[in-house]
Structure 1
Amino acid sequence: MLHHVELYVSNIKKSSEFWGWFLEEIGYHLHQEWDDGRSWKMKETYLVFVQTEERFMDIPYHRCRVGLNHLAFHAESREQVDQMTDKLKNKGVKILYPDKHPFAGGKDYYAVFFEDPDRMKVELAAPGSNN
């Protein structure tokens, strides 16, 4: 079981707004909060978001560079994937691979792929979606 993931972000306010509503929608709760960071927890696993120091902001994040490519979460159902897709669109969040949605991961892989404020790919996959 994964213990935690810590991500440095370019704007803690934007990231907290984005990740807070999404994570709470799928069952996480706010765990910790401090000036430069926040964490959300579900059971024993938590996600931490920390403001990147100004001196390290010269090279922006890109998921195709060495490092984290994306985070994928379990959805409860295909309906939850559809509902989340609508909410993401209403919030102006960029949906990735819109021409293949919701089967961008393959004909048996039902999911929504989207970007966080730093353009990290995030995925919400329905049950039975295995690659």
Structure 2
Amino acid sequence: MTKGLLHHIELYVSNLEQSVTFWGWLLEELGYEPFQKWDGGQSWKLENTYIVFVQAEERFLDIAYHRCRVGLNHLAFHATSREHVDNMTKKLEERGVKILYKKQHPFAGGQQHYAVYFEDPDRMKVELVAPELQGSVVEKTQK
């Protein structure tokens, strides 16, 4: 059943070519496949959900995105494990991607939240989160 699940997310970007390079690599690493491509846009799909990137019109580029304004703050994706987070962190660094909260990494979200936080070309925050460990404090309190 897909009721309530996200169908798609559409993001307008300042530079489609840069965003396609950044997001295409990341999404394909996470199991997404190229889905649609047209002049001014491209999307990737995983099962029933797809993410669309569209080139913003020139007249709207004078107002830069900032995650602390009203609107989208960040996108968070599931990782398969802590090792997956570690491997992706290395790959992100090799690609010159800005890792956020480096002093607290990989526990910037707390001791039970193993994740890497980073920025896309428009400085939108992206997060890759490992599953919680069996027997964690959080899991014990939910039983």
TM over 0.5, shorter chain: yes
Consecutive unaligned residues of structure 2, counting only runs of 5 or more, are 139-143
- Secondary structure in 2 aligned to 1:14? helix
The 2-side partners of 1:34 and 1:17 are apart by: 15
Within the alignment, does 1:14 sit opposite 2:18 as a pair?
yes
Q: How does 1:95-114 map to 2 (within 5 A)?
A: 95-114=99-118
The 2-side partners of 1:103 and 1:85 are apart by: 13
Query: What is the deviation of 1:128?
Result: 1.4
Of the candidates 117, 125, 132, which is equivalent to residue 128 of structure 1? Answer: 132
Residue matched to 2:90: 86
| Structure 2 residue identity aligned to 1:86 | K
Q: Post-superposition, which runs of at least 4 consecutive aligned residues in structure 1 deviate over 4 A? A: none
Query: What is the deviation of 1:37?
Result: 0.5
Within the alignment, does 1:46 sit opposite 2:46 as a pair?
no
Q: Which has the larger radius of gyration?
A: 2
The 2-side partners of 1:118 and 1:56 are apart by: 14
Query: What is the deviation of 1:48?
Result: 0.3
| Structure 2 residue identity aligned to 1:79 | E
The 1-side partners of 2:123 and 2:46 are apart by: 24
- Secondary structure in 2 aligned to 1:16? helix
Paired residues in the alignment total 130
Consecutive unaligned residues of structure 1, counting only runs of 5 or more, are none
What percentage of aligned pairs have identical amino acids?
Answer: 69
The 1-side partners of 2:62 and 2:26 are apart by: 28
Alignment deviations for residues 6-57 of structure 1 (CA, whole Å, 9 cap, x no partner): 0000000000000000000010000001111110000000000000000111
The 1-side partners of 2:23 and 2:58 are apart by: 21
Q: Taking structure 2 as the reference length, what is the TM-score of the superposition?
A: 0.89
Q: Taking structure 1 as the reference length, what is the TM-score of the superposition?
A: 0.97
